[in-house]
A and B are shown apart, each in its own frame.
Chain A
Amino acid sequence: MRVPLSWLTDFAPFGSDIELIAGSLDELGLVVEGFQEVGAGLEEIVVAKVLAIDPIEGADRIRLVTVDAGEAEPLEVVCGAWNFSVGDLVPYSPVGARLPNGMKIERRRMKNVISNGMLCSQAELGLGDDSSGLFVLAPMELSGGLPASQTMRSRAVDPSGASLAEPGARLLDALGIAGDVVFDLAVEPNRPDALCIAGVARDLAAKLGLPFAIPDPTPPPAGGQSVDALLSLVVRSPELCPSFTLRVLTGVCVTRSPWWMAHRLVLAGMRPINSVVDSSNYVMLELGQPNHPYDLSKLNGGVVVRKAREAEVVTTLDGVERRVGVSDARVAKGAPAEDCLICDGNDMPIGIGGIMGGAASEIDSETSSVALEAAYFAPMAIARTAKRLGLRTEASMRFERGCDPMGIERAAVRFCELVSSTCGSSVRLSPGVLQESESPPRPLRLKVRVGRVNSVLGTELEPEEVKSLLVPIGFAVEAADTQDRAISAASGESDGALYVGVPSFRPDVSREIDVIEEIARHHGYARIRRTRPCSPQVGLLSQRQKERRFVREVLAGLGASEAWTSSFLAPGDHLAVGLDAGSKVELVLANPLAKEESVLRQSLLPGLLKALAFNVSRRQDWLRLFEVGRVFLPADRHRSSDEGRSTDEGRSTDEGRSDCDGLPEERELVALLLAGEGDGAAQAVEAWRTLAMSLRLDGTEIVAGQPPGLHPARSAWILQRDLGPGSPVIGVVGEVDPKVAESFGTEAGSLAGHRRRLGWLEVDLGALATLPRAAGMDKPPSRFPSSDIDLAFEVKDDVPASKVQETLRGAAGPLLVEVRLFDVYRGSPLGQGVRSLAFRLRFAASDRTLTDKEISAVRAQCIHAVEGAHAAVLRS
């Protein structure tokens, strides 16, 4: 909200210490997001009096104006404007000055006359949007601009009064805007009271210890027919509109607003329209009460406030046709559309209550009688309607946060006062008020325990201090009555309870804790001492958290850089990596920002392939990327094999969450994309082994298969060994299917034509956590020499080397220290479909040197076992 200091100063003497004021606003939580100096750049502009206007020979658009600018001699200035006459006071920019728009004023010769400076319009001075002619300074502007009834504590009015309007006076001083600034405040949603100038002034005055008062407005003289003779009022939906009032002003002459009013509206960020509409907006900005003026002649004799019927159409002031009374499933979980309409005497809609008026009853230059609506609308109803229509206005914003139900009358009278001072002298207030109001709720009275205040804030405030903080912002504070005191004394309480009456403009305060916040705000957060609680527990990471970090370190050690890709994929991405797609198996956002980011990922592959393509297209060809992140599976796809998977042993909060809330299953995966030079399935397997060894995993196996998206003949599942068919999948390893890689554009750029193999490893971190780990350091190395034997077998291609190795491990018995595949050979003299697998087995005993006899016995066992189990032949 934009708040001019000069306007604030109508309510309390704030002075001119901008830094103090801005700092205090910050401390109150009315954060100053910026401020603008009013009239910056106008320091050299002075008031000049027009002495003579003469035609220039040969020119019909410009005239020579002689002015008194306070200098010894009158000055001649060429001017193209026609809206002034001799005797007027106008702004004069001397030669050498620079206007706010950057224009430098120079002495110029035009049609043989010399122009010594420039006479300016509002627009040229940045003081308004009027560029139709000079800014003629009317007496009201120069007097400081406010109606006589307005208190004028703030004005930099010269005590002598007159001198400011003399030729040669600084324009800034003459207009009373010297030193004015506009604060741009961020007002939190719980502070509807601060959505107006007076409310900000109240808070600020309390903080600075200054007297604050809102002057009582004076209505124009009463006259003409009484209101009920001119108009009728029916409120059919008091639940949407608990309070509605109408007043009528006659004899109104709609005109351009005086400069001071237009100027304030502009400073506050609103566009001046005409004197009636501007008065209405002015009241809203000043007092926070939205209100609406209707042209009485367009109301057909009445106003009806009712719920909108199904799909009714209203044309709002902005010229847009809006359909109301239409339920939107996304608003309030499909609650019926309860939009409040304001209708005329014929029940035709003339506005959306509390949000925007209609075009049909608009004030125009012909308007002579004005009906003013000032009402209180139900905040929730306004919020729903505004959301449904996608229409947030200054009025709806204030109503939905909660206006002051007791502030209606003051605002209405203030409007009447403003209209009477801006719309001609014949303005009369029709006697009476049309009003339909439910009896206002009783003011809240809250019990506030001073002991509680201090224990929540860590302060040591006395009841009197608490009171002195609350009273200036409108709260009524009384000490607990004697009866209460007796009770607290009896129960041993020394809380020192206070009873706090909440003002009607603070709908956000309804509990003791809300009052405590007000106390803290005005006491000052900075004055609350700083202590540190002592945690009774030892801080640590859970096993799972430590392991996640460790996995990251291991993968980085393999030369991979950690990437962080989007959780949202494009609709075709799952299909592209061989996963099922469609509404049954995919989770989709109801309101994505873009279609390309609308599907919750089930694999890290699309994201990392996109990241690779991004880099390849920037000529970063060889790289390894990894990611640790969540994937999301629909709730009904929980697989039985995953049951009993334990969660984090630390402070996991996932426990039991799928019982009732039906949330999707989330898995935390770690994936590695190997796109380095020479990378492929072998490097992916090596990476998996490094990871498995680093984590001391015991009992996993690589089982050939065709995981989706991967190369059909160069990929495998990673499973837990010995669990047989259906054992849970821990991950996949191998190579990305070249077609898949291609569809993500990873072959772009300099590598076009050169087929790259992409190694891929994706592992479920949650599944890893459940795997058995190799025992600790329970096997001391033997002190006796070890013996190696090398065995090479001819084995058919369809027998996995891992199976042969397993057989060897089984047959070698307890003396085996390790078995390692160290050579694979294909080619002559071996036949097609056969390869030689060479293993080295190392044996040792802890208590003796092994004999040749023992070794050859084990050797024979191994050969026999492999030849028997795998139809293999020992190579000689």
Chain B
Amino acid sequence: MIEAAGLDSKDGLAYDQAVREALGEKAEQEVSSCETLEALRQLEGALLGKRSRLAQLHQQLGSLDPSERKVLGRLLNERKARLKSLIDTRRAELDRADEQARLAAERMDLTEVIAGRRRGTLHLVSRTQSELEDTFVGMGFTVAEGPEVETDWNNFEALNIPPDHPARGMWDTFYLDVGKPESVLMRTHTSPVQVRLMQSHQPPIYSVMPGRCYRRDTPDARHLSIFHQIEGLVVDTGISFSDLAGTIEAFTTTYFGPSIHSRLRPAYFPFTEPSAEFEITCTICEGQGCRTCSQTGWIELGGCGMVDPEVFASVGIDSEIWTGFAFGFGIDRCAQMRQGIADLRILMENDIRFLEQA
């Protein structure tokens, strides 16, 4: 701060006085009490503008005694700079407040946003199918497909189930009203895809066949007349029952988790020999025993076995060179087990309240 001390002339003292009046504490107070940018702009003009007291004082500076001019000139500039900086600071403050007010005016309650369209979902069964496919793809399998309407030959005869074979009773079949009676049918399993695959491709074969199947059973909580199945087929040299058991186990622990295991027990299918049902650790109780597994700790998942030599013969594969195994189980059943769905029929109802949970 420059003191008035050292000024001799009357003019000098008056000038000093004038500077202090025009750019002194009063002006500073005016700046800091300015409430709007517009007021600040006007005040800035009045204090520092072309017609301001400051401008006059600048002009008067020349008429002062040169010895005092230097001191007073410095005073004026210092006062001016100080005031300018106060104004800038105040302007920044007001600017910020202004911006805040503008944003505040844009206030929005993010919880009052109106719900738009529904979430889209994949069907539980198609999602399950993809997961199963991915598991087997990871084990080196490809995915094969085929028609849902099939010939009796592909669905039964090639699989060692001749007409009138008692085992036909295992598959209640929908027949189409075309051609010779009972010659064209809705496939009862995806095994005809295996037949087509073996006819069209040389072994080795490592494939799974997912798809829609049909059985003429009245639907109930555990069965649908239209359902989805995935089968697998491996044909190679030196394939044995122990490879089948190991593949089923690898799939089980991969897909259901490390605490779920598999076991095989003898069964009968015309197209495999030896044949087995495979069961997995109950996914509900993890083997402890519960109502779902009738206290056994195991639930039945599907069937499997070594490809019967008759099947190889019907598709022209030499069973002395090649051996293989096949397995199959319900995709819907798998989904039912993983999701704990009480009644399978809900899968075909397409109730959006169910679909959207997928």
Chain A interface (Cβ < 8 Å from any Cβ of B): 26-29, 31, 188-191, 329-334, 379-380, 383-384, 387, 400-401, 455-459, 511, 513-514, 516-517, 520-521, 525-526, 528-542, 545, 549, 552-553, 555-568, 583, 587-593, 600, 611, 614-615, 618, 620, 622-625, 628-630, 632, 634-635, 648, 650-655, 657, 661-664, 666, 676-677
Residues of A within 8 A of B309 (CB): 511, 513
The answer on a CB contact under 8 Å between B139 and A458 is no
Residues of A within 8 A of B352 (CB): 561, 615, 620, 623, 625
- Tell me whether chain B's interface is mostly helix, strand or loop, or mixed: mixed
Residues of B within 8 A of A558 (CB): 120
Q: Can you show 8 pairs from A to B with CB atoms below 8 A apart?
A: A29-B266, A455-B240, A531-B243, A563-B123, A567-B226, A622-B118, A651-B207, A664-B184
With A and B bound together, what is the CA distance between A456 and B193 in angstroms?
Answer: 24
Residues of B within 8 A of A530 (CB): 242, 245-246, 249
By beta carbon, the residue of chain A nearest B275 is A517
The answer on a CB contact under 8 Å between A562 and B126 is yes
Among residues 164 to 204 in chain B, which have CB atoms less than 8 Å away from a CB atom of chain A?
164, 166-167, 169-170, 174-184, 186, 193, 196-197, 200-201, 204
Residues of A within 8 A of B143 (CB): 541-542, 545, 650-651
The answer on a CB contact under 8 Å between A589 and B274 is no
The answer on a CB contact under 8 Å between A653 and B177 is no
14 other A-B residue contacts (CB within 8 Å) besides A29-B268, A540-B142, A561-B355 = A379-B166, A458-B240, A525-B241, A535-B140, A545-B145, A560-B120, A583-B177, A590-B175, A593-B216, A593-B218, A650-B142, A654-B145, A676-B117, A677-B117
Interface-central residue, B151, B245, B266, by most chain A CB under 10 Å: B266
Among residues 54 to 86 in chain B, which have CB atoms less than 8 Å away from a CB atom of chain A?
none
Which of A332, A379, A401, A562 sits near B122, CB closer than 8 Å? Answer: A562
Residues of A within 8 A of B167 (CB): 189-190
The answer on a CB contact under 8 Å between A525 and B264 is yes
The answer on a CB contact under 8 Å between A653 and B200 is yes
Q: Taking the nearest CB of chain A, how far is it from the CB of B258, in angstroms? A: 15
Chain B interface (Cβ < 8 Å from any Cβ of A): 117-123, 125-126, 130, 133, 136-151, 153-154, 163-164, 166-167, 169-170, 174-184, 186, 193, 196-197, 200-201, 204, 206-207, 212, 214, 216, 218, 225-226, 234, 236, 238-243, 245-247, 249-250, 263-268, 273-277, 306, 308-309, 323, 347-353, 355-356, 358
Residues of B within 8 A of A556 (CB): 120-122
The answer on a CB contact under 8 Å between B133 and A532 is no
The answer on a CB contact under 8 Å between B355 and A562 is yes
With A and B bound together, what is the CA distance between A564 and B352 in angstroms?
Answer: 11
Residues of B within 8 A of A401 (CB): 166
The answer on a CB contact under 8 Å between B349 and A591 is no
Q: Taking the nearest CB of chain A, how far is it from the CB of B321, in angstroms? A: 12
The answer on a CB contact under 8 Å between A625 and B174 is no
Residues of A within 8 A of B174 (CB): 589-592
Residues of B within 8 A of A568 (CB): 226
The answer on a CB contact under 8 Å between B355 and A566 is no
The answer on a CB contact under 8 Å between A188 and B149 is no
The answer on a CB contact under 8 Å between B126 and A628 is yes
The answer on a CB contact under 8 Å between A615 and B351 is yes
With A and B bound together, what is the CA distance between A514 and B349 in angstroms?
Answer: 44
With A and B bound together, what is the CA distance between A532 and B234 in angstroms?
Answer: 11
Residues of A within 8 A of B179 (CB): 662
Residues of B within 8 A of A379 (CB): 166
By beta carbon, the residue of chain A nearest B125 is A564
* Contact of A528 with B348 at beta-carbon distance under 8 Å, contacts A564-B125, A652-B144 already known: no
With A and B bound together, what is the CA distance between A663 and B118 in angstroms?
Answer: 40
Which of B121, B138, B212, B276 sits near A539, CB closer than 8 Å? Answer: B138
With A and B bound together, what is the CA distance between A9 and B308 in angstroms?
Answer: 36
- 5 shortest interchain CB distances as A-B pairs: A458-B242, A29-B266, A535-B140, A458-B240, A188-B268
Q: Taking the nearest CB of chain B, how far is it from the CB of A285, in angstroms? A: 20
Residues of B within 8 A of A651 (CB): 142-144, 197, 201, 207
The answer on a CB contact under 8 Å between B323 and A533 is no
Which of A31, A387, A400, A654 sits near B146, CB closer than 8 Å? Answer: A654
* Contact of A537 with B243 at beta-carbon distance under 8 Å, contacts A526-B263, A588-B176, A591-B174 already known: no
